[in-house]
Homo-oligomer: A and B are copies of this chain.
Amino acid sequence: MNPLILDNIAKHIQLEPSEADYFLTLLKETKIKKNSVLLRPGDVCKALTFVTSGCLRLYKTDTDGKDHILLFAPEGWWCTDSYSFYTQTPAEYGIDALEDTTCLQITAEKLELLYKEVPKFERFFRILFQNGFIMYQKRITANTSLTAEKRYHRFKLTYPKLEQRIAQKHIASYLGITPVFLSRLRKRNG
List the interface of chain A (C-beta within 8 A of B).
60, 62-64, 66, 68, 70, 82-83, 86, 115, 119, 122-123, 125-126, 129-130, 132-134, 136-137, 139-141, 143-146, 176
Are the C-beta atoms of A68 and B145 separated by less than 8 Å?
yes
A77 to chain B, nearest CB (A): 14
Question: Which listed residue, B115, B123, B139, B141, touches A62 by the CB 8 Å rule?
Answer: B141
A118 to B116 Cα, complex, angstroms? 15
Q: How far is the CA of A136 from the CA of B139 in the complex (A)?
A: 9
Q: How many copies altogether? A: 2
Q: In the complex, A143→B143 CA distance in Å?
A: 8
Closest chain B residue to A143, Cβ basis: B143
Interchain CB contact under 8 A, B144 and A176: yes
Q: How far is the CA of A126 from the CA of B145 in the complex (A)?
A: 29
Query: Is A70 touching B176 in the complex (CB atoms < 8 A)?
Result: no
Q: Are A140 and B136 in contact (CB under 8 A)?
A: yes
Query: Which of B130, B139, B140 makes the CB contact (< 8 A) with A82?
Result: B130
A82-B122 in contact given A68-B144, A70-B141, A176-B143 (Cβ < 8 Å): no
A115–B145 CA distance with the chains assembled, in angstroms: 36
12 contacts between A and B (CB under 8 A): A62-B146, A70-B140, A70-B141, A82-B137, A126-B126, A129-B129, A129-B133, A136-B136, A136-B139, A136-B140, A139-B140, A140-B140
In the complex, what residues of B have CB within 8 A of residue A136's CB? 133, 136-137, 139-140
Which residues of the other chain, B, contact A145 by a CB distance below 8 angstroms?
A: 60, 62-64, 66, 68
